[in-house]
Every structure is written in C-alpha cells, then in structure tokens.
Amino acid sequence: MTIKFLLIDALNVIRRVYAAQPGEDSPERVEYARTSSVQSLQRAARECRPTHACCVFDSQEPGWRHDMYADYKAGRKPMPDALQQKLSGFKDAFSDSGVSSIEIPRFEADDVIATLASKVALQNGHVIILSTDKIFFQLISEQITIRDHFNKRDIDYSSVMDKFGVRPDQFADFLALSGDSTNNIGGVPSVGKKTAARLLGQFDTLDNVLSAAYIIPGKLGDMIRLYSEDARTAQTLVRLRIDLELGLNLRTYRYGH
C-alpha cells in the first residue's frame, strides 16, 4: 500500500477559522470555530483521500528558535484567551472525527511536520501538508505537496517558481536574504524579494551569495558583507528541522473513514 499522509498544521487551520467567526472572543465563538474546524478537516479528508492523517500542534513551551533568537515571533498577535483555554476540546473533536493529534514538547508544529513529511517521502510515500504558511514551501518535492485548504489549491514546484522566482529547495535561503516578517526574522537590509530571487538565480545558494559578496558592486555588496552573519542566523531559523527523533508509530495515524 502506498502511503498518502495528510499532515494538518492544526493551529494554522484553527486560527484562520476562528478569525472568520463573527463576534467577540468568547466560549460561544470557540464552539462555532471548533465545529467549523472539524468540518474543514472532514472536507480536506474527502478531497485528499489520505491513508494516514494527523493534526500537529505547536508546543506551548518556547523552543530552540526562541533560545537562539530572543525576538523570534516578537510582536505577533497572541492567541485569544478563550481559544487558548479550549484548545484541548479541538483535539478531542478531531479525534472523534478519526484524526489523532500530536504535540511534541519544545518543538513547533513546523519542525514536526517537516520531519514526518521527510520520513514518509523517503519511503516513497506521498504527503499533503494542509497549511497556508509559506515556510513549508522549502519541503515541496515530487512526494510532498502543500495544500491551501481555504483556496482549494495545491502549491507545487511550479507555483513557487512562478510566484517567487526560486526553486523550493532555495526557499529557506530566499527568506534568509529577504526576511520573514511573519516570524520577525530580518534578512539583509535593502534585499527585497526580487533582489533575493535574482541573487539566488545567479549564485544558487546563500553560501555562494555571501562568498561572492565582494564582487557584487555598490551598496548591495556592502550590505551583504555587513549583514552576512545575520543572514546565516536567519537561514538557521527559517530552515525546517527534518531530523527530530519523534518515536511515533505510523500505524497510529491510519485514517479509516
């Protein structure tokens, strides 16, 4: 049997659904969001027809990125209190619909999803990551696709090339140069998306860009040289971990509905 694993970025889905609900932060709004999130999950399962599925939650504890960079995600709007207090109810509701949830202490869902996706892909399985977070674009391959559930479209190699002008395997380097404002990670000042794509088109990798900075003329070369260590730090922060020891059994996540 060929594995087709649906990996759901749980908080990405829940917070998008919650934001779409009318009204103030309240238990009633949480209840509506929980019902809608389950419906979204069920629709995704119908559309993707997975053999395996799981919802991956962020750890509530600070992780290695916070240890490395104190301003990681600084300024991001906190989760509404009512939603935060009722998250366990979402996990129960997902379980009732046939999809288990996982949360690994001190690790973000992004790294857990990346590790699971990479392990399944190495076994020639297929993975669909349900998320609107562009950080996952770096994982795209013949075996791994990103699903924008809310716009009902798949994001693949061509999608990334057409929109950003870089290959998926260059995407972490692209963010290291241009910055990732969602997570409060700065890139190289004066290097925007178009310039980052042009540099990677010419030099292929961040390491090559930094090594060639002395031959890049004008202010651009100066800024790359001046902020080379910041770019390397950003690269480490935006690059997803695929080497976590999760101790999980794939059979646990068989989807039987």
Selection from 102, 156, 106, 92 nearest residue 129 by Cα:
156
Q: Which CATH class is domain 161-238?
A: mainly alpha
* pLDDT over threshold 60, residue 227: yes
Are 146 and 131 in contact, with CB atoms under 8 Å apart? yes
DSSP-derived 3-state class of residue 132: coil
Give the pLDDT mean for 54-59.
96
Q: Has residue 29 got a pLDDT over 90?
A: yes
Q: Say how many Å lie between the first and final Cα of the chain, rounded.
A: 17
Average pLDDT, the chain: 94
Q: What percent of the chain has pLDDT over 90?
A: 85
Phi then psi for residue 64, to 5 deg, are -65, -30
Please report the sign of the dihedral spanned by the C-alpha atoms of residue 241, residue 247, residue 250, residue 255. Answer: negative
Of 168, 190, 147, 141, the residue nearest 239 (C-alpha): 168
Q: Are strands 153-155 and 144-148 parallel, antiparallel or unpaired?
A: antiparallel
What mean pLDDT do residues 225-241 have?
A: 96
* pLDDT digits 0-9 by tens, 128-150: 999 999 999 999 999 999 999 88
Domain boundaries, the chain: 4-158+240-253, 161-238
Find the mean pLDDT for residues 42-69.
93
3-state secondary structure of 56: strand
Q: Which residues, in sequence order, are CB contacts of 82 under 8 Å at separation 6+?
A: 25, 26, 27, 29, 30
Both tokens assigned to 257:
């509905």
What average pLDDT does range 62-67 have in this prediction? 92
Per the model's pLDDT, the better-predicted residue between 149 and 227 turns out to be 227
d(CA 48, CA 189): 41
Residue 257: the pLDDT is: 54
What pLDDT is attached to residue 56? 97
Q: State yes or no: pLDDT of 9 exceeds 60.
A: yes
Q: What is the pTM of this model?
A: 0.95
Fold of 4-158+240-253: Rossmann fold (3.40.50)
